[in-house]
A and B are shown apart, each in its own frame.
Chain A
Amino acid sequence: MKFFQINLGRFKDRLGRRGVAAVEFALVMPFLLVLFLGTIEILTLYRTEAKLNAMTINIAQMLAIQNQSTTSGISTVPSSGAGQPSLQNMCQGAILGLAPFPPGGMTLAIASVTLESGPTGLPSTNTSTSKAYNANNTYDAWESDFTVSGGTCNTASGTVIGVSNAEKLATTSPPSTTGASGASGLLAVPCDNAIIVQATLTYPGILGVILRNRPTLTQTAYTRWAYAGTQTELQCSSTDTGCTTSYLSTQLCNTSNTATN
């Protein structure tokens, strides 16, 4: 009996120590796995954001460098249409640069603001009788929006930024829709231009395990039309249904303007 009891004790002891490492490993593994997958997810999120940022800047640059259908100094960019450098075509091309991330669900807003007249004139004439003088800034502005579905950019109704907000963004520093407009923004002098491109993409996620709530990435790029001058303006036609426009009845930034802005 004694012999049996001793052996049972040894047996129990051995049984108790076995698989300790396996149990520890099983306890730690879930945390390591979450850490590992989380690292991949965050890195992919970071790269998606970097890609979106680059894409937004590239669209702004595509628009900034275009100068087509020019009449009396006013260059008119079409909002849609394949086989030509329209805004829709720029969107269509730019999403190729977002690869390998799917552009589905992305919202793209393209706006342009031109200062028509204001309290600051150039080069030297800045009196109340100057053609481009106005105590308050006056603007020409337009916006064209797109949503991407199934790899295609479709013209969207409504405006994400809003024409009046675009005017605010262009004349405040740092750009804000609530700040006080002044000469500190992008638009310092009459006929100066600001292009605002805003892209919004909901991060699709790679596994859907770590990030349960999909973060929405938004990037805004500001630039200036490369051909902005005292007698030029970038416009989207007021008859273009893909654009929301707000133009002044008296246009100053064109070739028939002989005044010194």
Chain B
Amino acid sequence: MSRFAVTQRLTSGALRHLLFARRFWLESRADTAVEFAMIGSAFFLFIFGIFVVSIDMFWQMALDDAVRNATRQVQIGNITTGPAFAAAVCQEFGAAAPNCTGSLQYSVQGGSYFGTGGITATSFSSSGNLGSAATFTGATATATGAPVFLLVQVAYPLPFKVLAVPGGVATENGTPSLYSAVATVMEP
């Protein structure tokens, strides 16, 4: 092959590619679709983040309120068992969140003081589980005298893992569970 022929072949090949690239660059069909694909994904991810945080926050506040109300029932002696406590929480909280009865973890402890030998907080692991999933002990009031303190801890593992934004930011406690606690005292 002559030197001229090689150059011609190379040039025509490069030119062909150049022309194709130029045509592609100037092509305006589906411009909007491509832009939408690029920006839309980021935008919808953002919108989804708002959804996730909103749902988590709403559930968290509903759980706080339900736990506070159920604790009040324990304080005045209306609730004396674990299942009754869970039912009271789920009656209110279950209206907002799915599978409350099945996944709610609780620890209700009564005692004459806080600390070793008295009420010690049930551990709440980084995976969002209480050390003991269903505890209800010592929540009985004495007539007079020394107070009977009460520590209520409740964890609700989020039903969809996608709701636990990485790092547990939306649950405000760094775990994939919602957590609510109340420390108070039994009514004599």
Interface residues of A, Cβ cutoff 8 Å to B: 10-11, 14, 17-22, 25, 29, 32-33, 36, 39-40, 43-44, 47, 50-51, 54-55, 58, 61-62, 65-68, 82-86, 89-90, 92-101, 206, 226-227
Contacts and interface: CB of A to CB of B under 8 A. Distances in A.
B186 to A, nearest CB: 8
Interface of B: 25-26, 28, 31-32, 35-36, 38-39, 42-43, 46, 49-50, 53, 57, 60-61, 64, 68, 112-119, 121, 124, 144-147, 149, 151, 153, 169-170, 172-174, 179, 181-188
A62 B114 CA distance: 12
Contact of A92 (B38, B64, B114, B185): B114
Q: Tell me what chain A mostly uses at the interface: helix, strand, loop, or mixed.
A: helix
Nearest to B170: A40
Given A11-B26, A47-B172, A85-B146, A61 B35 contact: no
Q: 7 shortest A-B CB distances, which residue pairs?
A: A93-B114, A97-B183, A100-B173, A58-B184, A66-B147, A62-B185, A21-B35
Contact of B183 (A20, A50, A96): A96
A98 B68 CA distance: 13
Contact of B115 (A68, A83, A97, A99): A83
A33 B47 CA distance: 11
Contacts, number: 125
Contact of B57 (A29, A43, A65, A90): A43
B64 A100 contact: no
B35 A22 contact: yes
Contact of A36 (B26, B49, B184): B49
Contacts of B172: 44, 47, 100-101, 206
Residue from B112, B118, B147, B179 whose CB has the most chain A CB atoms within 10 Å: B147
Pick the most buried of A11, A25, A227: most chain B CB atoms within 10 A of its CB: A25
B185 A47 contact: no
A58 B185 contact: yes
B39 A22 contact: yes
A31 to B, nearest CB: 12
A232 to B, nearest CB: 12
Nearest to B152: A97
Given A21-B39, A25-B43, A47-B61, A62 B149 contact: yes
